[in-house]
Structure 1
Amino acid sequence: MDARHIATAARLAHIEPFHVMELAKQAAELERAGRHVIHMGIGEPDFTAAAPVIHAAEAAMRRGVTQYTGALGIHALREAIAGYYKTAYGIDIPERRVIVTAGASGALLLACAVLVEIGAEVLMPDPSYPCNRHFVAAFDGFARMIPSGPAERFQLTAEQVVANWGPDTRGVLLASPSNPTGTSILPEELRKILAEVRERNGFAIVDEIYQGLSYDAPPVSALSLDDNVVTVNSFSKYFNMTGWRLGWLVVPDALVSAFEKVAQNLFICASAVAQHAALACFSPAALEIYDARKAEFHRRRDAIVPALEALGLRVPVKPDGAFYVYADCRHINHPFAGDADRLTQAILHDAGVVLVPGTDFGPHTARDYLRISYATSMENIEEAMQRLHHFLR
């Protein structure tokens, strides 16, 4: 059979390519040609897994604990995660509500599989991480993107939830702090949002994968505001384990069996080696390393925001978490001001710096904003700012 004549599922029409990866491909071509390129595009920490985690993985492989685990994850790791909520957030979460997943992406897929019905509408802010709306589309739901600007901290508000909740709306999908903006939802606003969703018998999925990287105030988990929320977290960002593909969910008691059934069928389990290695993340030695790395991200944030402002790339909301800056490109002195796609192409090819246009994150800010990742060294950040200065001059 000719593969060109095999019909693909209609849902693919609602799933768009990830434009960030196209820029990464172009950057790789430039590097193969001998250009030096500074990567400030993909959101991946430049730090890798801490030494205690590496040692724990080696020990696990020597012990031979490489076979399937239970679909919910190994008991010791679920218990450690529950304990982490107590020390980090002051919340008592029973271990039975913790579900270990194949990364935060696996967690979001599970959440959408369990909660999103065919034709269900899910509210989320525009801009948002693009895969979130595509997870909804993968289960034949519809992501309704609500324009959210600087006045809303690029986040949904309770007022927007009330105004946009319709007959097909079933819930909200939030991220705090957010990719691409690095902004969090203020606790009182989040409390109001969750109350409005609960009043409408809807679901709330809150992506908290960047909460460990909160700089200006202690992080507040949605779990401390509403016991019925589904939260997503990950070992990728704060714990610097991107390629290990390990995350977790905390779900209401009543939903555990539903999540377990779907996890058994979709994933069987998360990586056994990664699970045993991740136990070391919560050791005092590892936590000391992560605190030092968080302080370094904080230092980078405080350096890059004023540097971008000095270039005319305005930052209307100072990011308080993650490792992103969402910068308005409409006011720079350049022919491509206000055309983020053409601007990032020119910056890549002329200055050798990878930045990301707002295109991937939703139509509302697509042309006007750039996402800049500071998950790279201070030396690279300083060099990138010099290159941008010369490019814009």
Structure 2
Amino acid sequence: MFEPSALSVAQRANVPPFQVMEVLSAANARQRVRGDVVSLAAGQPSSPAPSAVREAAAEALRRHPLGYTEQLGLPQLREAIAGHCARTYGLAADPAEVVATTGASGAFLLAFLSAFDPGDRVALARPGYPAYRNILAALGCEVVELPCDESTRFQPTTAMLEALDEPVRGLIVASPANPTGTVLTGDELAELASWCDRRGVQLISDEIYHGIEYGERLHSAREFSTEAIVVNSFSKLWCMTGWRLGWMLVPPRLRRAVDSLTGNFTLCPPAVSQHGAVAAFGAEVYAEVGEHVRRYETNRELLLTGLAELGIKRVAPADGAFYAYADIGELTDDSSAWCHRLLEETGVAVVPGVDFDPERGGRFVRMSYAGATEDIAEAVARLATWLR
């Protein structure tokens, strides 16, 4: 007789939960009951997709059967992305290098599977986006965390890589980074790319927050290495998180592998999202999302000023994205409990740093300022009352 107890859960599935989602669930539960939540938790814009994108998607629903597309994406979309890369970075991007993916998450899975084997050592910054660590672990790779802090603006350096006891097979960088919002300068990114090329290390550059910057223009890893894998997405700048559409720039040696993996894993990205995204690169869309970025900049100044007035002055340099990664070590060493108490007592939702840094995250929180300006002001006011 079949015994269900004989079945087991795969060891590779034993990865930590994403605590950001747990905070969001708690915030949503409170909102349903009390309706008073101000959320600085979600790492997504509060605005809808650009109007031209929504209109293009609606037209596609009317005119197209929306069956499977080519595995690597609609040709017209890949051409549009290549054009965007040429205009933004001066890259002579071949549309054949462009792969449309099911969100940036799908791109990371394809990148890791095509470039790394089980047991390969892959380096990344800590703090950093937890899905890098957890996907790599699920695939059997060894994660090598590079402890980063204020001294390197929370970004990895070649000195850290040189100091490792054993060589690595890959390096993941993010600029602007989640959760810190810090940026690699062109010189810093060039140095990391050169280091990887000289040693045969696969560089994977997360560029999903490109376009959301508040200082010097951002650089793509492809400006410095044709062997780098670049991951980008329509989620952040274009406010299309739920559309689940991203893209990669893939070096020729990996293209066949990525093509085969895509065909077996997802067949293709969502068709309606692809048709909509073809319209994402017009002048009117750039102007529309540019307005959002200006709002984020206003919110950034409001939040950072408010935190400083409350004595929370150790915040990572928020040069891009829409996050403030704040050191609250003088208030608590258990940021998870602190965030839950803040939500319960004030209705303000922020997320604990332990998601992003299992070692030191107990003294950090991440606050998103992607929402409405009045929400940022209200959150700061409630936090001030609570702390005082």
What's the TM-score once normalised by structure 1's chain length? 0.96
* CA deviation vs aligned residue, 1:257-287 (integer Å, no higher than 9, x gap): 1111111111100011110100111112111
The Cα shift of 1:289 comes to 0.5
State the match for 1:349 in structure 2: 344
Change (3 A) 1:191 1:364: farther
Per the alignment, residue 109 of structure 1 pairs with 109
Q: Percentage identity across aligned positions?
A: 36
Q: Could you tell me which residue of structure 2 aligns to residue 220 of structure 1? A: 219
Checking the alignment, whether the CA contact within 8 Å between 1:161 and 1:193 is kept in structure 2 is: no
Q: Deviations over 1:267-314 (max 9, x none)?
A: 100011110100111112111101111111112112211111111222
Q: Is residue 41–residue 349 contact of structure 2 (8 Å, CA) maintained in 1?
A: yes
Superposition deviation, residue 99 in structure 1: 0.3
Q: Does the 8 Å CA contact 2:174/2:206 hold for their aligned counterparts?
A: yes
CA contact (8 A) 1:30 1:37 kept: yes
Does the 8 Å contact 1:161/1:196 carry over to 2?
no
Partner of 1:299: 298
| Residue 258 (structure 2) aligns with | 259
Contact persistence 1:312–1:329 (CA under 8 A): no
> How many angstroms apart in 2 are the aligned matches of 1:3 and 1:195?
53
Aligned match of 2:118: 118
Give the structure 1 partner of residue 334 of structure 2. 339
Deviates more, 1:290-299 or 1:321-330: 290-299
8 Å contact from structure 1 (residues 71, 264) kept in 2: yes
How much has 1:2 moved relative to structure 2? 5.0
The whole-number CA distance in structure 2 between the counterparts of 1:227 and 1:233 is 16
Q: Is the 8 A contact 2:52 2:280 kept in 1?
A: yes
Q: Distance in 2 between matches of 1:2 and 1:29?
A: 37
Which ranges of structure 2 fall in alignment gaps of 5 or more residues? none
1:1-393 → structure 2 map (5 Å cutoff): 1-13=2-14, 15-164=15-164, 166-167=166-167, 169-331=168-330, 336-393=331-388
Amino acid aligned to 2:154: F
Structure 1: which 5+ residue stretches go unaligned?
Answer: none
Distance 1:120 1:212 in 2: 32
Q: 2:185, 2:218 within 8 Å by CA — same for their partners in 1?
A: no
Contact 1:126 1:365 in 2 (8 A): no
Measured after TM superposition, the shift of residue 3 of structure 1 is 4.2
In 2, the alpha carbon distance for the partners of 1:110 and 1:227 equals 18
Root-mean-square deviation (CA, aligned residues, Å) is 1.3
The alignment's TM-score, normalised by the length of structure 2, stands at 0.97
The alignment partner of 2:163 has SS state of helix
Cα distance change of structure 1 residues 156 and 129 upon mapping to structure 2, 3 Å threshold: same
1:182 alignment partner AA: G
How much does 1:256 deviate? Answer: 1.1
Mean Cα deviation higher: 208-217 or 192-201: 192-201
Please state whether the residue corresponding to 1:364 is helix, strand or coil. coil
- Looking at structure 1, the residues matched to 62 and 209 of structure 2 have their Cα atoms a distance apart, in angstroms, of 32
The 8 Å contact of residues 162 and 196 in structure 1, kept in 2 or not, is answered as no
Q: Report the 3-state secondary structure (helix = DSSP H, G, I; strand = E; otherwise coil) of the residue aligned with 1:231.
A: strand
Distance 1:319 1:365 in 2: 19
Matched positions, count? 387
8 Å CA contact 2:315–2:324 kept in 1: the answer is no
Out of 139-148 and 379-388, give the one that drifted further.
139-148
State the AA in 1 paired with 2:189. Answer: L
Distance 1:88 1:213 in 2: 13
Deviation at 1:191, TM superposition (A): 1.3
Q: Is the 8 A contact 1:121 1:170 kept in 2?
A: yes
Q: Deviations over 1:345-379 (max 9, x none)?
A: 11111111001111101223311111000011110
Cα deviation, residue 5, structure 1: 3.5
Counterpart residue identity of residue 317, structure 1: A
